[in-house]
Amino acid sequence: MSQTPNAERPALNVELSGVPASNIKHQTSNVLWRLLDFVLAAVFIFAGLSKIFDLDHLLTALLHLRFGDALIQFRQLTAASPIEFANGIDNFKLVPWPVSVALAFYLPWLEIFCALALVFRLLYRGALILLITLMVVFTLAITAAKLRGLDITCGCFGHASQHWSFPSHLATNLTIIAGLVALSFANRSRERL
C-alpha cells in the first residue's frame, strides 16, 4: 500500500519532538545572528552605493512606494561624483586633499566588499574587524570635528545623511558598532563549539 503524505506526519512529529530544546534555541539564535548579519550588510551596502551612485531619485521613489518610477530611476542610475565625498572627508581637516581623494574612491568599495563578506560568510572575521575599525574611526572623526567646532556633514550615507545632527550621527554609529561587536562575540562562541 502506498503511503499518503498524511501518513508521514506522525513520524515527522516524533522526529521533531526528539530534537532537544537546547538545539532549537541554538537554531533560533543562529537565525537571529544571520538576520543581524543581513541588516548590517544592508546598511553598509547602502552606505557604499550611496557614495558611488546618485541614489536620491531612486530613494525618493521607493520612499513614496512608487515602484514603477523606482524601476525607471534604477535604469537611469548615474555615477555620483566622488568629489562630493572627497570634500566631505576634506571638511574634517584631518588628512591632506590627496588622501581625501584616495579615501573617497576606496572606502565605498571597502564597505561593500565587507558587507558582502558578512552576507556570504566568507572572510567573515576579517570583514567584522575592518568594519568595526572603520566605524570607530568615523565616530572619533565626527566627535573630534564637533569638539573643534567644525560645522560639517559626514556624507556617510550620501545625500541621505546630509542634514543629520551630531547626536543622530553618534547614535547611528554607536548602534552599528554595538551590532558588529555582538556579531564578533557570537562568531567567536560559535567557533568554540
Partner 1 sequence: MVRQAAVLAALAFLPAAGEAIHFRDKISWRSSIPPSEMVSVEQARGWGDTAIWVDARPDDEFASDHVPGAISLNEDRWNELLPQFLAVWSPGKKIVVYCSSLSCNASREVANRLRKEAQLSDVFVLEGGWEAWLKGNR
Closer residue to partner 1, CB minimum distance, 69 or 87: 87
CA R_g for the chain = 22
Closer residue to partner 1, CB minimum distance, 55 or 114: 114
Closer residue to partner 1, CB minimum distance, 82 or 170: 82
* Least distance (Å) between residue 87 CB and partner 1: 6
Closer residue to partner 1, CB minimum distance, 61 or 86: 86
* Least distance (Å) between residue 128 CB and partner 1: 8
Closer residue to partner 1, CB minimum distance, 82 or 159: 82
Cβ–Cβ < 8 Å for 37, 116: no
Q: How far apart are CA 11 and CA 5, in angstroms?
A: 11
Per-residue cell: 132: 568595526
Closer residue to partner 1, CB minimum distance, 130 or 170: 130
Q: Phi then psi for 79, rounded to 5 degrees?
A: -70, 135
* Least distance (Å) between residue 19 CB and partner 1: 33
- Residues making contact with partner 1 (CB under 8 A): 52, 79, 81-83, 86-87, 90, 97-98, 100-102, 105-106, 108-110, 112-114, 117, 123-127, 129-130
DSSP H/E element including 41: helix 21-52
* Least distance (Å) between residue 96 CB and partner 1: 9
- Looking from the CA of 45 toward its CB, the CA atoms found within 13 Å total 11
Strands (E), the chain: 156-159
Q: How far apart are CA 84 and CA 71, in angstroms?
A: 25
* b (16+ CB within 10 A) / e for 28-45: eeeeeeeebbeebbebbb
Strands (E), 64-175: 156-159
* Least distance (Å) between residue 11 CB and partner 1: 43
CB-CB neighbours of 118 under 10 Å: 25
* Least distance (Å) between residue 90 CB and partner 1: 6
